A = this chain, B = another copy of it.
Amino acid sequence: MAKGHDPVELLSDAHRQELARHATTHILPARAIIYRTGSTATSLFIIGDGAVKTFRDLPSGRRRIAAFFFARDLFGLAEAGVYVNTVQTLIPSRIYELEMSTLTGVFQRSPDIELQFLTKACHVLREAQHHNIIVGRRDAVGRLAMLLQLLLKQNWLATGRQEIAIPMTRSDMANYLGLSLEAVVRACRRLEMQGIVEFIGRHQGRIIDRRRFDALASNV
């Protein structure tokens, strides 16, 4: 089983308040670009509510989605000087912006906050390694199952634990999984045909057979 994906509290309440004083809040609609590849990196961002995707467009015209981020996730730190990925909201989101210049001051005053960021960076790294394992699978259905499992964790509390909220398009899923759009569609079909997952519309799913679902996702 893929471990290391428990929801991680980024910061304690005290630290969160300390940071809140320095943060700018952005209320963004769906599909809003937060920053682009190559622009100079000036801030870190924390998601209050919503979801974003970080991606790069490759020379071939293909697009690779490096990660999806959700509430309490941190992004903007995978760079040095300039951002290497573009970040865009999937759904309306509330984003907190922390300017690096003010952040270094906070770090000087309280190294333990900085340690929290280091911990969080490690969490993001584990996510990236897990992503590597997903893409390493050869079967489309198994890859899809692992992505759905990821999404399931997000709505563990919000919705029932069989309900899967899918805030992105099939195309996004394909770009994350390293599959073609058609392969994703067919994989969804097959999960339905086999009675493992049911799809209601394109942005919601429901687990029908949890045992076989977990078996699929774990069968790396």
Contact = CB atoms under 8 A, between A and B. Distances in A.
For the complex formed by this chain, how many copies does it contain in all?
Answer: 2
B123 A121 contact: no
The interface size bin for chain A is 35 or more
A119 interface: yes
A77 B111 contact: no
A150 to B, nearest CB: 15
B133 A132 contact: no
A75 B108 CA distance: 25
Interface string A82-95: 00110000000000
A136 B4 contact: no
Contact of A60 (B60, B128, B220): B220
Contacts of A4: 79-80, 84
Interface of A: 1, 3-4, 8, 56, 58-60, 62, 64, 66, 77-80, 84-85, 104, 107-108, 111, 114-115, 117-119, 121-126, 128-129, 131-133, 135-136, 178, 218-220
6 contacts: A3-B84, A60-B219, A66-B132, A77-B122, A77-B125, A78-B129
